[in-house]
Amino acid sequence: MIFGPLKLLLRLIGLVLTLAVLYFAVTFVQIWMTGQQHSTNSADVIMVFGTTEDNGTPSAELTSRLNEALALYDAHRAPFVAVTGGKLPGDVYTEAGVSATYLETHGVPRSAIILGGGHDTWQNVASVANALKSRHLRTVLTVTDPFHEYRAMAISSDQGFSPSPTPTTTSPITGSGLALNYFKETMEVGAARFVGYERLSRWLHAG
């Protein structure tokens, strides 16, 4: 008699695991497909998501994002560029500040650059949201690595913007690093769909 309920429990566990695998598999496909899209839309602002800098110099990954933003700006796809990203303990420069300097050096006037901050994707968007909305800038071209594009767009949309995908095509991240980033994005997006991106950001930075 005891084996009947045990078999039912095992079947239920198997069903839950199967559904979980399917859910995250679909999430991964959505993330991957979004990273392959390159919108031809024009917008109010180009939003560059921050990543590492090296003592005032953009990392190779950040440089690839900034060069994508420069190409969009030079093509007159948007009149403003918003740069985001904070700094780690001990750092002198913020990612946003380094990005702004790079853009200015390459011909973008300071008046066209909106400076933000933030330590994750939700905070990146939140750091420039008020400045963009006060200028009535609502449509954005989201510039980041392909594996990050889906989450960047979802969070931009959650905060009241209308995003279009413009991922960098020159990301230096390949191989196992790329696979690890896709895994991380799949887990975070999958979790955020249940708890919300803002709440997940708060949990990750609690304490």
SS3 state at 8: helix
Tell me the sheet residues that pair with 83: 48, 115
What b/e sequence results for 15-53 when a residue is b if at least 16 CB atoms lie within 10 Å of its CB, and e otherwise?
eeeeeeeeebeebbeebbebbeeeeeeebbbbbbbbbeb
Low-confidence ranges of the chain (pLDDT < 70): 1-4, 207
For residue 3, what pLDDT is reported?
A: 60
Distance CA(115)–CA(164), nearest Å, equals: 20
Return the percent helix, strand and coil in the chain, to nearest 5: 55, 10, 30
102-160 pLDDT, tens per residue?
Answer: 999 999 999 999 999 999 999 999 999 999 999 999 999 999 999 999 999 999 999 99
Distance CA(74)–CA(64), nearest Å, equals: 15
For residue 151, what pLDDT is reported?
A: 98
66's CB contacts (< 8 A; 6+ apart) are: 48, 58, 99, 102, 103, 106
Q: Hey, what domains does the chain have and what are their CATH numbers? A: 37-174 (3.40.50.620)
What does the radius of gyration of the chain's CA atoms come to, in whole angstroms?
Answer: 19
For residue 161, what pLDDT is reported?
A: 98
For residue 205, what pLDDT is reported?
A: 83
For residue 10, what pLDDT is reported?
A: 78
For residue 56, what pLDDT is reported?
A: 94
20's CB contacts (< 8 A; 6+ apart) are: none
Distance CA(81)–CA(164), nearest Å, equals: 14
For residue 169, what pLDDT is reported?
A: 95
Whole-prediction pTM? 0.92
For residue 17, what pLDDT is reported?
A: 92
